[in-house]
Amino acid sequence: MQILQLCKKYPYPPKDGESVAIYNLAASLQEAGATLDLLTMNTSRHEMSIKVIPNLSFYRKVETVAVDNRIRMLPAFRNLFSPKSYHIERFRSPAFAKKLEHLLQAQEYDVVQLETLYLAIYIPIIRKYSRAKICLRAHNVEHEIWERIVGNTPVGLKRWYLNHLTQKLKNYEKSQLSNYDLLAAISSRDWAKYRELGYTGEGLVVPIGFDPQAYEPVFHHYRQRLSIGFIGSLDWLPNLEGLQWFLDRVWPGIHQRCPDLTLHIAGRNTPRWLLDLKKDQVTVHGEVEDAQAFIKAHTLALVPLRSGSGMRVKILEAMALGKVVLTTSLGLEGIPARDGQEVLIADQPETFLEKIHFCQIAPDRLTNMGKNARSLVESHFDRRGIAEELLEVYGKE
């Protein structure tokens, strides 16, 4: 099985959700017998120095193309009067198209796997130069992320503008549904959503996979002083939005009720206002070298998402480490975990207070929940089984 994987950013280091999903699946596909080539953008937003780009051994060939996808005022303004989606147009690159054309002419592929909707603009080139199946690996229902952000934005010019962009992104996402030979959704919920949007082709659910052996769980922390840890990419708007809401609406009440409880915040591209934050018992670490060590160091893993789509890698990573995750109903979408069994769910400030109180009085319950969480990841998200199922579908006539 010859697979060409197209990515909108270099999938290394595997720290954010998208990179983890791409990296783990690629490694698993290669282990299952597939041959993979990678063509990836090296964007200005997630730029990887060419001097330090690692040789990912599970790829036969890795090609990178520099793409300037910065948001620019004049193109953004002009796009207001165009039916095209500005979200998508920022990833249109003649150099990337040329490199893709060259690869397709040099090698006959069985499958071209698009990692996210943003690569769909290159489908006409794939159809012209290849007979390969085209699979969209949908990490999210893209427009849904922005619909939820719009819903959390106060009425005004910003909300109008975001809604305008979101409607064009939705139109584009729906328009592409007939162009895929296969759609690999990240969760059962997203798969149902794509069906509602009008997708009628073949597809399957391909969740984020993990190697459980790479995560050594810890359970002794549940008998120590309670602490909360948040870690996530802080240049991803849903993460930042959810964290800011938690700090403004939830943390003051928790701190008043539990003055000794500490909150620790870590993440890539931490904004200056957050680094300068002065709140009692809140420590902002910026980017940390070892994400697993940070997660292990705190009793609870906090994921207070109020927008977004798809599946949250940091929730699954924390669960694999035996941690109890405190998250919202939205944050848990796509993960078959239960409140009070593997995770804790809270959507309102008063519910967060109730969950924190529960954690303080029931450390034994937390230990059991952490063990349940680990077992759930082992049974539902083992990367090797996920890759084998996908290869089986790719091999069907």
pLDDT at 345: 98
**Which DSSP state fits 51?**
G
Q: Where are the domains of the chain?
A: 2-209+382-394, 213-380
Architecture of the CATH domain 2-209+382-394: 3-Layer(aba) Sandwich (3.40)
User: Are the CB atoms for 184 and 138 separated by under 8 Å?
Assistant: yes
User: Are the CB atoms for 15 and 377 separated by under 8 Å?
Assistant: no
Least Cα distance to 344 among 260, 210, 257, 226 occurs for 226
306: number of Cβ within 10 Å: 19
Can 2-209+382-394 and 213-380 be said to share one CATH topology?
Answer: yes
What is the DSSP track for 306-363? Answer: SS--S--HHHHHHHHTTPEEEE-TTTTTT----BTTTEEE--SHHHHHHHHHHHHH-H
d(CA 369, CA 277): 32
pLDDT at 15: 80
CATH (one of 1.20.1560.10, 3.90.1310.10, 2.60.40.680, 3.40.50.2000) for 213-380: 3.40.50.2000
Q: Is 267 exposed, middle or buried (0-12, 13-18, 19+ CB in 10 A)?
A: buried
Helix (H, G, I), strand (E, B) or coil at 240: helix
Q: What is the full per-residue pLDDT of the chain (397 aa) written as tens digits?
A: 999 999 999 888 888 888 999 999 999 999 999 999 999 999 877 776 655 566 688 999 999 999 998 888 888 889 999 999 999 999 999 999 999 999 999 999 999 999 999 999 999 999 999 999 999 999 999 999 899 889 989 999 999 999 999 999 999 999 999 999 999 999 999 999 999 999 999 999 999 999 988 999 988 888 888 999 999 989 888 999 999 999 999 999 999 999 999 999 999 899 999 999 999 999 999 999 999 999 999 999 999 999 877 788 899 999 999 999 999 999 999 899 999 999 999 999 999 999 999 998 888 899 999 999 999 999 999 999 999 999 999 998 6
* Cβ-count burial 41-70 (b if 16+ within 10 Å, e if not): bbbeebebeeeeeeebeebeebebbebebe
Lookup result for tokens 């520099």? 66
Q: At what angle do helices 363-380 and 349-361 cross, to 10 degrees?
A: 110
d(CA 387, CA 397): 18
